[in-house]
Amino acid sequence: MGNQIEKNQIDCYPCEQISPMFKLLSTEEIKNVNENKINIHFKAGEIIQKQGTYMTHIIYIVSGMVKVYFEREDQKNTILRIVKPMSFVGGPGIYSDHFYHFTISAMKDTAVCYIDFAILKNILNQNIAFSGEFLKDFSLSILSVYNRLMTLTNKNIAGKMAYTLLYLFEEVYENKEQFVSISKNDLADLSAVSRDSSVKILRDFQNEGIIRMTDHTIELLKPDTLRMIQSVG
């Protein structure tokens, strides 16, 4: 693996990618976080945290992009969500068994901070304002995953792919005219369809003039048509 480990090389203050939640911490609390974290740089495709490992640290995404996915026994993956910078990744293990119940891997070159779990837990127990915002963020991320999976459950293959493309366009890449194409496997895992079905539907969408694909980008030409397919599919 080509990841680079840096112990306390990036200070929480000043840091352009610091979460607004950290502004709720005292100077001493910031110092404790800063002295008990590790900065690691991962290349695209590298595993950041493996499903089933013990939760010794909370992961904070500084830059890049990661996918959070559930590894199934049938060797197929289900991507739960895509996480962008200035976000924590923890999961239900934070408040239960202290295990990671999913795998986290880099979709592009990514920098993360591993924050000591014991330090963060102590802050959560003592700082009510920070704890409230952390729990709100945690709840919203769980609700987003729940809503996305429930939506996919009730759609046909075309509807699932339309929903996924709109999710990428509107939430991940935030309405940019083009977004960098993720792998066909990731598109399939994100849509809860097979890779062959994913390739076929994307080809159909392109032939119908709904999208334009190149080796590196997908351009949405008719987002309203995708919304209609998502709605009725």
Each residue's pLDDT expressed in tens, for the chain with a length of 233 residues: 456 555 545 555 555 557 778 889 888 998 888 888 899 999 999 999 999 888 888 899 999 999 999 887 776 788 999 999 988 887 777 777 888 889 999 998 999 999 888 898 899 999 999 999 998 988 888 888 888 888 888 899 999 999 999 988 888 887 666 676 678 888 899 998 888 999 899 999 999 999 988 877 788 888 899 999 998 87
pLDDT of residue 40: 93
CATH 1.10.10.10 fits 155-232, yes or no: yes
Report domain 4-152's class: mainly beta
Evaluate whether 39 touches 6 at the Cβ level (below 8 Å): yes
Instruction: Please report which helix (H) or strand (E) contains residue 178, including its range.
Output: strand 178-180
Tell me the two tokens of residue 78. Answer: 């289900």
Distance CA 173, CA 232 (A): 24
pLDDT at 1: 45
Domain extents for the chain? 4-152, 155-232
Tell me how far apart the alpha carbons of residues 12 and 22 are, in angstroms, rounded to a whole number: 8
Q: Report the predicted TM-score, pTM, of the whole model to 2 decimal places.
A: 0.82
pLDDT of residue 154: 86
Does the fold of domain 155-232 match that of domain 4-152? no
